[in-house]
């Protein structure tokens, strides 16, 4: 999602005070990019098989969501069978009530 700020504004507006926001975020680390190259034959996010731009990585999405008045209550990392290598993060957020 390119325009994360507008999306978060709308999510925050329509989300019930008892509701939750669940996200799945790509890490976009070096290993992730290398796997993209091996699978697609290109580093491009926009061209080739399974094309689709990633405008944000997991760390930046989490930071942006928190800045919009959400608190993260759980984080699940989808790892590769290698140490310290995550492909995706699944997060659960709760809207802070004022």
Residue 44's pLDDT is 62
Q: Structure tokens of 90?
A: 């699944």
The CATH architecture one would assign to domain 4-95 is 3-Layer(aba) Sandwich (3.40)
Task: Flag whether pLDDT at 25 surpasses 70.
Answer: yes
Q: Domain residue spans in the chain?
A: 4-95
- The arithmetic mean of pLDDT across residues 61-76, rounded, is 95
Q: How far apart are CA 69 and CA 4, in angstroms?
A: 14
Q: Give, as one character, the DSSP assignment of residue 96.
A: P
- Nearest CA among 26, 85, 30, 23 for reference residue 54: 26
Q: What is the pTM of this model?
A: 0.73
Average pLDDT, the chain: 83
What is the full DSSP assignment across 32-61?
Answer: HHHHHHHHHSSS-SSSSTT-------HHHH
- Of 52, 28, 57, 29, the closest CA to residue 40 belongs to 52
Average pLDDT over residues 89-93: 94
Instruction: Give 84's pLDDT tier (boundaries 50, 70, 90).
Output: low
Q: Across-strand partners of 21?
A: 93
């Amino acid at each position: 999602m390119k325009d994360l700020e507008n999306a978060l504004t709308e999510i925050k507006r329509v989300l019930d005070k008892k509701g939750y926001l669940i996200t799945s975020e790509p890490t976009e680390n070096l290993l992730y990019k290398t796997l993209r190259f091996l699978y697609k034959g290109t580093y491009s996010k926009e061209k080739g098989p399974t094309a689709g731009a990633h405008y944000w990585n997991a760390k930046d999405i989490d930071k942006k969501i928190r800045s919009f008045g959400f608190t993260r209550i759980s984080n699940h990392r989808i790892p590769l069978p290698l140490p310290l290598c995550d492909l995706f993060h699944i997060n659960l957020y709760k809207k802070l009530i004022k």
